Structure 1
Amino acid sequence: MKMIRLYALLLTAVTGALATTAQERLSNDTVYIPVGIQSRHSAKLYGNVYTAARLQAVLRENRERHPGKTLAVVLMEPGTYYLDSTLVITPELANGNGAVVIMPAHPGDDVTLSGGQPVKVKWRRWKNGIYKAKLELPYSFDQLYINDRQQVRARYPNYDSSAQYYNGSAADAISPERVKTWKHPQGGYVHALHKGEWGGYHYRITGVHPDYSLQLEGGYQNNRQMGMHASRRFVENIFEELDTAREWYYDQPAKTLYYKPAPGVRLSRATVVVSRLPQAITLKGSANNPVRNVTIAGLRLAHTAPTFMDTREPLLRSDWTIYRGGAILLDGTEHCTIRDCEFDHNGGNAVFVSNYNRHAAITGCHIHDAGGSGICFVGNPDAVRSPLFEYNESQPLAAIDTVRGPKTNHYPDSCTVYNNLIYRIGTIEKQTAGIQLSMAMNISVLHNTIYDVPRAGINVSEGTFGGHDIAYNDVFNTVLETGDHGAFNSWGRDRYWHPDRGAMNDLTEAHPELILQDAIYTTRLHHNRFRCDHGWDIDLDDGSSNYYIYNNVCLNGGLKLREGFYRTVENNVILNNSFHPHVWFKNSHDIFRHNIVTGPYKPIGIRYWGDELDFNLFPDKATLPAETDQHSMAGDPGFVNPIAGDYRVKAGSPALRIVFNNFPMDSFGVISPALRLLAKKAPLPVLRQQHLIGTSETTWLGARIKNIETLGERSAAGLPDNNGVYLVRIPDNFPYALQAGDVILKAGNTVVQNVGDLQKAYNREGDKPATLTIFRNQREIILKF
């Protein structure tokens, strides 16, 4: 009788909770597998710890008995379910004519699937408000949760929620003077931004040299090696730095946990959880035998372990390295869905879609406080023809596979990211994105809200293989800790790419057919709202090609197109900024038309304009370009309600005469009421007109030179900072083998930070430098004379 009642209860509760989509097929053909504290399937170890192997065995048994039915794994009671190992679902557990659904018993139940381990400790007071407890664990851990709140590993400088970089950074974090105060720093970590602010590095401390410099391992987390930033760094997991509330330290050799609680925390009643698993659930199949029709719905995923020391696989021609994993990993799947889940304080990526995947969907999820990225779609390099990995690598034409398109099917295709709220990701790793696409095709990124991120909100790596539809997203408060980037960011650097601009000019002019061999489908970027206060709102960097960009609102940082081909940009609103064309190719075929800009164009290194720059609206006649835009106009666009973010134009606006078409201003970001209620609002700009600001150009030996003054100049040259002298124009018969766009860094042994330094070096009578150190093609070159 009890079992009949239980089944009836399950059938009523679970069917009501999940009978929402045809894909899940919840019907009379559904077999319900209850998992709970008192369930015979729980195989508890202690507390709420469950063995993944037992859950897999139950799935296997039921699949064998019910090959065509949907298996619903029901987490019966609200609370936290701790796995002793990653729950791996393979094709034999999932496939057949049915499906697998993992879900709570009732809609709205607070059910957490944890990658952590609950531990029982007996605290005793130590000193200075610090408590300690014996903790016998066979492994170390990187995150501690007290009463389900993440604590701070002992660090210098101390955690400061208001600090811009790493919540606290300092130039002396690993100075010899500070290292001298540490008895046994082995096992500590150094985290630092890249010298050029292009992501970051992470190092494990292995020892101390006699001069009190640290012995380190790591630093492979960035694919463009330039070393650590001089000041934006911090150190953690150092016992002597445990000096403030919420900090902790685990002495693994002594099996002792130290912790300084915040006032009011009663440790005798506190729950204690440590991070353990880097992944809670993995769907693991292959292109030949994929996992099909698995849905993970309505769960909270939490407490997974950080993976920053495993982030080492380089992506193509970029700053990025990755770790192929997340709280949930999809690898070799078809028609699998993650919906209405919360990803809360996980140490690495939240969701990673790796290698072959078709029709994966991540919808309605709330992703926040992740150590890595939010949602990643990353294919396998074996799908790419003639792949190269480091920026400065190149290959001769004879070595390039010239067949169009992918080489294998080991990449995500026709997948969807819809209605997700993503914020405060990249809390540990800084080369991250809210949504990352690499070696993928036809990914739909729709109605997501992304903010408070250290780098891009949405990032598209390489041109491989295009076809993405990126629309109706609201992306703001981006590039908060790094530099030279955008709220939307992309690059190309496809198989034809060469770090030497001259070589690339020659190759693309002689073989234009190579340009779209990787970027085979057009990526559409439309009906989005972007804001970046430390870079560009839309940043198409090195070689981003085959884009159609329309009906977007750029709130602050403007729109940049660097070297690339076949970009059409039309009907966008660019506020408090303008269009930034950088170092275009002769045959770029770029188009910029029917846009509203609120300042003059900001070109850098432009010798050739594209197919069309015309029919745009500028704020006044002084900002109208002389070289392009023969039919463009000037005047007040007459926005409907800019204070409320409505940048449609009123009847009679001059924008209508340059064929600007109004588009909706209330469709950006998440659409579900629950997520809209949680989401921040994008900060709207106070509109101002921008006039062309005079530059500091001067003459040197007949060349026009200037200081590095703008983010655009720094980005165009690929510089890590604003030091150096930028060569704007070189006259014929110039005495040195310099080019426009070069940056002089040294004259002889004299460091050249600005024009004054260069002039002083050449004004010393009888002391003309024999060498110039310059920055060209994003690397240092020494010229001898």
Structure 2
Amino acid sequence: MMNHFFRRIRLILAILLIIRGFSFGQQIFVSTTGNDRNTGTFQKPLATLTAARDKARLFRKRSALKTPVEVIVKKGEYRMKGPLMLTADDSGTPESPLIFKGEAGSMPVFSGGKTLGKFEKVNEGLWKMDIAEVSDYGWYFEQLFINGKRAQRAQAVNDLFIKQVLSVKETVVLIDSSFSHDFAVQKVTLPIESTKWLNGLSKAELEDAVITFYHNWDNTRRRISAYSAKDTAIYVTGQGQKPWNGINSNSLYNLENIKSALDAPGEWFLERPGTLYYKPLPGETIEQTKAVVPVCEQLIVITGDEKQDRRVSNIRFENLSFQMTKYQMPRSGEEPAQGAHHIGTAVVLDNTDQVSFVNCEIAHTGGGAIWYRKACTNGRVERCFLHDLGASGVKVGELSQPLRNEDLTRFITVDNNIMSGGGMVFPCAVAVMIFNASDNEITHNEINNYQYSGISVGWTWGYSASPAKRNKIAFNHIHHLGWGVLSDMGGVYTLGVSEGTVVNNNVIHHIYSFDYGGWGLYTDEGSTGILMENNLVYNCRSSGFHQHYGKENIIRNNIFANNINAQLQATRIEKHRSFSFTNNIIYFNTGDLLSNGWDEVNILTDQNCYWDPRSTAIKFKKQSWAAWHSSGKDVHSVIADPGFRNVKAFDFTLTNPQLMQQIGFKPFDYSLAGVYGSAGWKAKARLDPALERVFDEVVTVREKDRK
């Protein structure tokens, strides 16, 4: 009788636990000490996200859930052998989303990397390690991380002042079209100092070497087919050069993966027979050194069922770190590609709705971080730390225009994120790229330390129909881009017909190109219907604003200050109105006011304030203020000191209310740009002052060389 009573009590408790579970949400636990044969409870956790995914599927098959399904990951580091794959079968609902999250107070790490063994000492400045998988199975890798930091594969030039090629001669072998050749050979003559790295290389060593060309806005990566010591020339093969951006004597280059270039602390080189060499940094010891090689290309792949129109929906990732993905260059090399647009990402999504990443980290990648690609809607990337990336931070939309309107990616929000240190493998990568996508919001992000543009919007050149409309780029802090390596870049770059797109309340500064085109705001290639207002732009190399060509854009109520070569620039002269330029403040004590065809393009320019503390006799190209007036330009504008509080300290607070009223300028609080939240989060967003000093050194040396 008593046993029967206890059995009933246990049954009642079990039922209560089940009811409690469904009332407060189903929880599945993952732990570094777990096992995928376990039940997934707190006491018997699973070991992988894939097993947790399968367990969540079972929950939904049993009954319709009314509360969230939570995969709670205990702290620690988890090795991933392949990506977490999610399909429409894993979808949650608005009432019962599927949530993958780190336990409270932790940021569990999911790594696509393989930890190597220990180095041994060769001498005081060199370590080595024999890797059996390389010698026995032909494994080879192109990225290496030492103690959580990206190490540099041995390269010829170790500083930022990369050399220029001397000449390029191309021989086309197979012709495909007038714009692109199927196969060509380029003879590239290099400076004499290249001989010290190339002389004496075997054919196999030469073919393992990689040369990267930096030409205008592109990179081309090639293996070396042959080398002529007699005339210091290398021969590379691939597609023919594009007529709009070829490699020439103004192009920079660097050589990589050559053992003789292993000459600086922090560099490494992998021999084909299986020996890895590393030159340690000061303070590093073998006992405390952890070497990791990424072996996964992707960490999360989310794909809906396109044929049945079933999207993956209502999934969220919180408090998780995803690290270590690889990039392997094809034997044929990499052709130039604007923005490295085709390069994959650690996380890729197709046919999704309401899939978000909140307070996550993505770092140490061979490619980019996140790509909401085809038919994605209502996604969010919020308060994430995206850093040390091989390519871009966030990409939105497809490269081609979708055939069906319902397949257009839209309503993606990228808010309050830090994107610092990108383009580590592909310098031409852009932090945020919106391709063929509409109604997206890129807001309050910190973007710094890229070698090309900060945000790119649109992917249809010229005045052809484009779906990239009503995108919002607001309150972003974009700075320290370019580093004197590439050209033709912008803090915010737009192209194509983009009615309804707004670029406002951004702070953009320290954009420095190698040659032409270090711009703050850059409307390019048919940009149409774009409003740019309430932006602060300063210390850009070429000018604060530049329009190559476009139509009916509005540039108003912005501050452009102390840009190096010029403040304002316009290039192509067209019959229609290119843009209106009103209620802006332009301050400069370096360079010129106007550049290129600003005095010839069809624009409305009025109610602006111009000030050069060096002289009140400001020149509008070759015209005096009076002549400029008489031509019908800036009739109600003024030459007056706007009264910035402290220009040298980059404090552009206005202290002249009478002037603001006179030109109709509406003050805006530019301190709101960038991330928001805790003091710690804001501090994390600040660029290392040491990097700022290096950037300033690059600018100083480059500008001195130009004079």
TM-score (norm 1): 0.69
2:102–2:319 CA contact under 8 A, matched in 1? yes
Unaligned segments of structure 1, at least 5 residues: 16-25, 385-406, 493-517, 684-710, 712-721, 723-785
Tell me what 1:246 maps to. Answer: 266
Residues in 1 aligned to 2:553 and 2:109: alpha-carbon distance in whole angstroms: 45
Q: Work out the percentage of aligned pairs sharing the same amino acid.
A: 22
Q: In the aligned structure 1, how far is the partner of 2:429 from the partner of 2:26?
A: 40
Q: Secondary structure at the match of 1:538?
A: strand
Please, which moves more after superposition, 417-426 or 674-683?
Answer: 674-683
The structural deviation recorded for 1:202 is 1.3
Which amino acid is the alignment partner of residue 332 of structure 1? N
CA distance in 2, matches of 1:210, 1:468: 53
The residue identity in structure 2 corresponding to 1:421 is I
User: Which of residues 299, 316, 319 in structure 2 aligns to 1:295?
Assistant: 316
Matched, 1:473 2:473: no
Change (3 A) 1:562 1:322: closer
CA distance in 1, matches of 2:109, 2:305: 28
Deviations 1:49-81 (A, max 9, x none): 9667545534433443355353322221x3221
Q: 1:350 maps to what in 2?
A: 369
Match of 1:57 in 2: 54
Among candidates 517, 520, 528, match of residue 545 of structure 1 = 528
1:239 deviation in Å?
3.2
Residue of structure 2 in register with 1:150 after alignment? 150
Flag the 1:635–1:260 CA change in 2: closer, same or farther, 3 A: closer
**Is 1:554 aligned with 2:574?**
no
How far apart, in 1, do the equivalents of 2:207 and 2:56 lie?
Answer: 40
Distance 1:286 1:189, change over 3 A: farther
CA distance in 1 between counterparts of 2:247 and 2:536 reads: 36
1:263-662 mapped onto 2 (5 Å cutoff)? 263-268=282-287, 270-286=289-305, 288-306=309-327, 309=330, 319-323=338-342, 325-383=344-402, 407-462=404-459, 464=466, 465-480=468-483, 481-492=485-496, 518-519=497-498, 521-531=499-509, 532-534=511-513, 535-557=518-540, 558-577=544-563, 578-588=567-577, 590-598=579-587, 601-605=593-597, 609-610=601-602, 612-619=604-611, 620=616, 622-623=618-619, 624=625, 625-626=628-629, 627=631, 628-642=633-647, 645-662=650-667
Q: Aligned equivalents of 2:279 and 2:378: distance in 1?
A: 47
Q: SS in structure 2 opposite 1:130?
A: strand
- Classify the secondary structure of the residue corresponding to 2:205: coil
1:458 offset after TM fit, Å?
1.2
Change (3 A) 1:221 1:675: farther
CA distance in 1, matches of 2:315, 2:243: 35
* Alpha-carbon distance, 1:662 to partner: 1.0
Q: In the aligned structure 1, how far is the partner of 2:282 from the partner of 2:648?
A: 43
Deviation track 1:285-313 (CA, whole Å, cap 9, x = no partner) reads 25522211111111222111136659999
Q: How does 1:746-761 map to 2 (within 5 A)?
A: none
Please say if residues 87 and 304 of structure 2, whose CA atoms lie closer than 8 Å, have aligned partners that are also in contact. Answer: yes
| Alpha-carbon separation, structure 2, partners of 1:529 and 1:475 | 6
Match of 1:188 among 198, 208, 220: 208
* Whole-angstrom distance in 2 between the partners of 1:351 and 1:310: 26
CA–CA separation in structure 2 for the residues paired with 1:416 and 1:311: 37
| Aligned partners of 2:112 and 2:325 also within 8 Å | yes
Contact map agreement 2:298 2:325 (CA 8 A) in 1: yes
Distance 2:593 2:285 in 1: 60
**Deviation of 1:450 (Å):** 1.1
Counterparts of 2:262 and 2:93 in 1: how far apart (Å)? 54
Return the offset for 1:648.
Answer: 4.1
Matching residue's letter, 1:546: G
| 2:97 corresponds to 1:129 | no
Root mean square deviation, CA, Å? 3.8
Whether 1:37 aligns to 2:35 is no
Larger mean Cα displacement after TM superposition, 283-292 or 547-556? 283-292
- Cα distance in 2 for partners of 1:206, 1:561 equals 41
Per-residue CA distance 1:314-360 (angstroms, 9 max, x = gap): 99xx8344235312212221111111112222221011221211011
- 1:102 aligned onto 2:121: no
Matches within 5 A, 1:730-741: none
Give the residue type in structure 2 aligned to 1:570.
Answer: R
CA displacement at 1:479 relative to structure 2:
2.0
Instruction: Please say if residues 374 and 422 of structure 1, whose CA atoms lie closer than 8 Å, have aligned partners that are also in contact.
Output: yes
Offset, 1:661: 1.2
Partners of 1:265 and 1:681 in 2: CA distance = 24
Is the CA contact (8 Å cut-off) linking 1:414 and 1:442 kept in structure 2? yes
* Other-structure match for 2:180: none
Q: SS of the residue aligned with 1:583?
A: coil
Q: Structure 2 stretches of 5 or more lacking a match?
A: 1-9, 39-44, 167-188, 461-465, 620-624, 690-701
1:412 offset after TM fit, Å?
A: 2.0
| In 2, Cα distance between equivalents of 1:346 and 1:621 | 52
The CA distance in 2 between the partners of 1:146 and 1:616, in whole Å, is: 53
**Which range moves more in the overlay, 217-226 or 263-272?**
217-226
The 1-side partners of 2:687 and 2:658 are apart by 28
State the secondary structure of the residue aligned to 1:136. Answer: helix
**Contact preservation (8 Å) 2:302, 2:312:** yes
Aligned ranges 1:90-239 → 2 under 5 Å: 90-95=87-92, 98-107=96-105, 109-119=106-116, 121=117, 123-126=119-122, 129-136=126-133, 138=137, 139-157=139-157, 159-160=158-159, 163-165=160-162, 171-172=190-191, 175=194, 178-183=197-202, 184-185=204-205, 188-195=208-215, 197-205=216-224, 214=234, 216=236, 225-227=245-247, 232-239=252-259
Q: Distance in 1 between matches of 2:658 and 2:118?
A: 72
Report if the CA contact (8 A) 2:99-2:317 is conserved: yes
Flag the 1:239–1:604 CA change in 2: closer, same or farther, 3 A. closer
Q: Cα 1:314–1:355, aligned 2, differ >3 Å: closer, same or farther?
A: farther
1:269 Cα offset (Å): 5.3
Cα distance in 2 between the residues matched to 1:326 and 1:533 = 27
Change (3 A) 1:455 1:268: same
